Amino acid sequence: MAITAVIALSVVIFPPVNAEPTVEIIMEKTTYSYCEKLFYTIKVSEVTGNPAIIHIRDDTGKGSSAIPIPISELENPVPSRMAFEKEIFPLGKYFIDVEYEGQKVSSEFTLIDANNVCLPISIKSIFTNWLSGNVSDGFIIDAFKKFVDDEVIKVPFEINEDNVYNIDIPEWVRENTSLWWYQGMISDEELIQVFKYLLDKQIISIQTN
């Protein structure tokens, strides 16, 4: 009787060892459109100190290089720094492949065109310099002319190296609207609408001496 009790107790005290850590992808949503940023969470059963390795590929098999993601918690949010742009990401189905401690999982999402209006990455870097006071007002308007389609925002005058410094943007646009946009408080489309209005009303124009 005593021997049976000891055997039963040993089964309870010593659970199976060497269990493989598990990994799971939790998608914020499965449909994205241009201007939106991909967001998902990598959930693991154990933090081992090793990173998860991810690849993002389209339905043709073309994909990104290996991206290591630090795993410091059981649930690890993975926000994208870059929004989906038409010039970079074709429409269709995409797959996220995650490998962690020998375990591999995949999830998928679909990219659609919802006719959202957004600014390209190239113009956002110029905005950063402008908000920091490193470039003059004219360079923002020149960036709109060079990098944004006329159907989105049309600059009704030519800009060159002689007149680029003769363009003034109202100070409130830098201190309020543009800063709010930079902080993510308003959308690309709302920012564009402000600049469209100022250009249409010739509040932003080339100043003559």
Ranges for all domains in the chain classified under CATH 2.60.40.1930:
17-112
Confidence bin at 50 (pLDDT 50/70/90)? very high
Identify which of 175, 157, 154 has the alpha carbon closest to the alpha carbon of residue 166: 157
29-47 b/e (C-beta count within 10 Å ≥ 16 → b): eeebbbbbebebebbbeee
DSSP strands (E only) in 3-51: 23-27, 31-33, 39-44
CATH number of the structural domain 17-112: 2.60.40.1930
Structure tokens at 69: 């993601």
pTM of the model: 0.68
- Tokens 């010593």 belong to which residue? 14
- pLDDT score of 209 more than 90: no
Which tens digits make up the pLDDT trace of 22-40?
999 999 999 999 888 899 9
Confidence bin at 194 (pLDDT 50/70/90)? very high
